[in-house]
Structure 1
Amino acid sequence: MNWKLNLKKTPKTEKAKKSKTREWVDAVVFAVVAATIIRGLLFSAYAIPSGSMEGTELTGDYLFVSKISYGPRIANTPLAVPFTEPVMYGIKTYSGAIQLPYFRLPGLGHIRNQDIVVFNKPDEAGPGYNIPVDERTTLIKRCQAIPGDVLTIINGQVYINGKAARNAPKQQTSYTVQITGLPINPDIMREQNISIRQQLGPDSYEMIMPSSAADIIKGYSNVKSITPVIAPAGSYDPEIFPHNEKFKWNVDNYGPIRLPKKGWTTPLNDSTLTLYRRAIEVYENNKVAINGNDILINGKKAGSYTFKMDYYWMMGDNRHDSLDSRFWGYVPEDHVIGKAMLTFFSTDSTQSFFNRIRWNRVLRPIE
């Protein structure tokens, strides 16, 4: 018997090489998927478009916002163009054909008093807007009160559960400034972050500035007087939430008001319904009606209501130039995006090209 051994190696079938075009397509797809996961679950970049957080955060600041801090929120509208604004050039970049219910993955912690938080604008909720939660305008404010807290503002000072809250180091408000006729040096105003809100008379101005700047300029020879602008207690501002003259509140004297907490039950009457109706009806999707002396929720008489979500109170550090919870009320938990952590870049559009970058704010932690 003859045995013949075939010791030759069977040639391997070579895989077809990818074309350059295919390699580029794969790389782009991978980058988009990876960036989408990072942006959706870990952190995102946002720009500060307005001055409501001056001088803590400035117009032109670019921020990293941690989503893992409070738990990543799963998108309500999965059918959206990645890395775009909800509306660009008048065209929606998302479709509301599929809308998922609110769901948040576990995070590293919870919102605390004084955290600087990025969230969707609750004022855009309701059938009048018909905008999904995650496609509403993005805002940044400081959290003054968390669920269960009782918030009061007395002469501009925030109190939480009866105790004065810590004021941000660079918090700003309005002052009436009387000068002798000689203007304040513009360089000093820029250095001290002082801006003119309006001119009240020939030598009288309302200026917005931090208290540290007020302490400095009041000693100048051309400054006759500087007085904080405070709306008096008991004066009713119709723009202030809950927009009811029974609550004679304004930006500087407000409350007391309790922040709803998940599982908290409140009795329902004229006053509590005024304060909490928007949360019950708009944010928690109930139908509220009044039949004589009875309050009906989803067609049934109700003497109380138990909240399904947590709510927060957000205010800008620029107290007299911020549209915040004083105007549109509570921020529901499903509107929260994340915690502002780092200013990674900053530009000043009022400066020349070579002086536009604020180098002292690059890679600056937020507090």
Structure 2
Amino acid sequence: MTEVKTQADRKAAKAHKSPIREWFDSVLFAVVAATLIRWLFMEAFTIPTPSMENSLMVGDFLFVSKLHYGTRTPQTPLQVPLTHQKIWGTNIPSYSTAIQLPSYRLPGFTHVTNGDVVVFNVPPKYLNENIDYPTDLKTNYIKRCIGIPGDVLEVRQRAVFINGKPFPTPPRSEQKYFIKTTEVLDANFFRKFDIVNDYRDPSQPTENWKPLEQYNDSTKSAAMVGYSVNTTEDVIAKFKEFDWVKGIEPMSDKAGETGAGIYGTPTFNWNHDNFGPITVPKKGATIQIDAKSIALYGPVIELYEKNEAVAVSPTSITIGGKAITSYTFKQDYYFMMGDNRDNSLDSRFWGFVPEDHIVGKAVFVWMSLDPNPANVWNKIRWNRLFRIID
């Protein structure tokens, strides 16, 4: 008797896959799905430096929304999936620049606003290992947006002003203080106040630590020691309650002093505690070209506006061989600062963030691991899990 197979039987036999083929298809589906989610909706990041403490701490794992501001279309399509600049654990580039596409931003449901915590591709080449990465592959930074396009920004003795009005200080932001005490304090003491990455003591002198001999006041004694700490106002208020704390002094630069590496210097005598006023570039806004505007906006015109044959000198700018007397910006820009104001490499040092460098909005911390826990049981910071970022 001859066996007769129906069309359904033949399709079923054809559809049967080997275990290896099933495994490969599953992995391929997972990679494609993860890549699409990472590009269109949300991406995971971790915090490697203390520049946003105490709002975000080293070891925080967070999700960043691409939907808020609208995701960017890929500029560099030839790239190993789920990588950024290099293949995991190697120095091998994970991408090819053989194809570079124009980048567009899909519609989002909001715009970057003052106070948003934003992930972006940091613009300067020297912050990208001096490699001229494509825009979408530049190093990711996270800071708080202080100034939006058209804002006039100024920092006066640490206090930020936007358009002449005080900008609210983030509640968990940190600044540098010098604490004089008759007690010797150790790392375990500072850990109780979430001061892990930002304190210095006399046994470990650094450029941030000043010996007490530099503080000539009536409270100084031979038995007194001093600590430079970056912490919040709330913690400083608690320190003031200790009777063995003999003095707390803010450590800040004076107005008129020129800070090393500050954006706009030496044309302007600014430092990281006293900066501006400066106007954040806005798409369609026109500036007149002179020595002062060149110091502030020359790098923008040369590096981020996609102009060809730009030459910038301290007194002139030429585009395509022709000197210009005015310039109209082609895109919006933003001014970013870390919440740890005295330990943050931000727009006060390298200038503005172009709109096409914006990656997304940080929304919440889903995991937090202490990189230097007091013991293994404290490795996870339980009080930071699923914390909304504000």
Task: Confirm or deny a common fold (TM above 0.5).
Answer: yes
Distance 1:361 1:235 in 2: 39
Distance 1:61 1:245, change over 3 A: same
> Who is 1:130 aligned against?
132
The range that moved more, 347-356 or 332-341, is: 347-356
Distance 1:120 1:295, change over 3 A: closer
Q: Deviations over 1:303-358 (max 9, x none)?
A: 11111111001100001111000010000011110000010001002113222011
Alignment TM-score, normalising by the size of structure 1: 0.92
- Contact 1:259 / 1:330 at 8 angstroms: preserved in 2? yes
Quote how far apart the aligned CAs of 1:81 are: 0.9
Aligned-partner residue type, residue 277 of structure 2: P
Distance 2:148 2:138 in 1: 22
Distance 1:262 1:353, change over 3 A: same
> Who is 1:51 aligned against?
50
Distance 2:192 2:179 in 1: 17
Instruction: Name structure 2 gaps, 5 residues minimum.
Output: 201-207, 213-224
1:289-300 correspondence to structure 2 within 5 Å: 289=311, 295-300=317-322
Quote how far apart the aligned CAs of 1:10 are: 8.6
> Who is 1:76 aligned against?
75
> Who is 1:303 aligned against?
325
Distance 1:83 1:293, change over 3 A: closer
1:1-367 correspondence to structure 2 within 5 Å: 11-13=6-8, 14-15=10-11, 16=14, 17-87=16-86, 88-124=89-125, 129-180=131-182, 182-184=183-185, 186-194=187-195, 195-197=198-200, 198-201=208-211, 203-242=225-264, 244-286=265-307, 287-289=309-311, 295-351=317-373, 352-367=375-390
- Contact 2:53 / 2:340 at 8 angstroms: preserved in 1? yes
Task: Identify the structure with the greater strand proportion.
Answer: 1
Quote how far apart the aligned CAs of 1:294 are: 5.5
Quote how far apart the aligned CAs of 1:290 are: 6.1
Please identify runs of 4+ aligned residues in structure 1 that moved more than 4 A. 125-128, 185-188, 290-294
Aligned-partner residue type, residue 266 of structure 2: E
Q: Deviations over 1:134-190 (max 9, x none)?
A: 11111100000000001000000010000000110011000111112x124654421
Distance 1:165 1:328 in 2: 21
- Contact 1:153 / 1:252 at 8 angstroms: preserved in 2? yes
Q: How many residues align?
A: 357
- Contact 2:75 / 2:100 at 8 angstroms: preserved in 1? yes
- Contact 1:115 / 1:339 at 8 angstroms: preserved in 2? yes
> Who is 2:205 aligned against?
none
Q: Deviations over 1:188-215 (max 9, x none)?
A: 4212223414432262222111011111
Distance 2:383 2:371 in 1: 16
- Contact 1:77 / 1:134 at 8 angstroms: preserved in 2? yes
- Contact 2:290 / 2:315 at 8 angstroms: preserved in 1? no
Aligned-partner residue type, residue 211 of structure 1: E
Is the partner of 2:31 in helix, strand or coil?
Answer: helix
- Contact 1:179 / 1:204 at 8 angstroms: preserved in 2? yes
- Contact 1:193 / 1:210 at 8 angstroms: preserved in 2? no
Distance 1:220 1:38 in 2: 51
The range that moved more, 31-40 or 279-288, is: 279-288
Aligned-partner residue type, residue 67 of structure 1: K
Q: Deviations over 1:16-56 (max 9, x none)?
A: 12222222222222211111111001000000001000000
- Contact 2:302 / 2:312 at 8 angstroms: preserved in 1? no
Q: Tell me the C-alpha RMSD between the 2 structures.
A: 2.1
The range that moved more, 217-226 or 86-95, is: 86-95
Alignment TM-score, normalising by the size of structure 2: 0.87
Distance 1:79 1:175 in 2: 48
- Contact 2:302 / 2:311 at 8 angstroms: preserved in 1? no
Distance 2:117 2:344 in 1: 14
Is the partner of 1:104 in helix, strand or coil?
Answer: coil
Distance 2:189 2:385 in 1: 23
Identity among equivalent positions (%) equals 45
Distance 1:199 1:208 in 2: 12
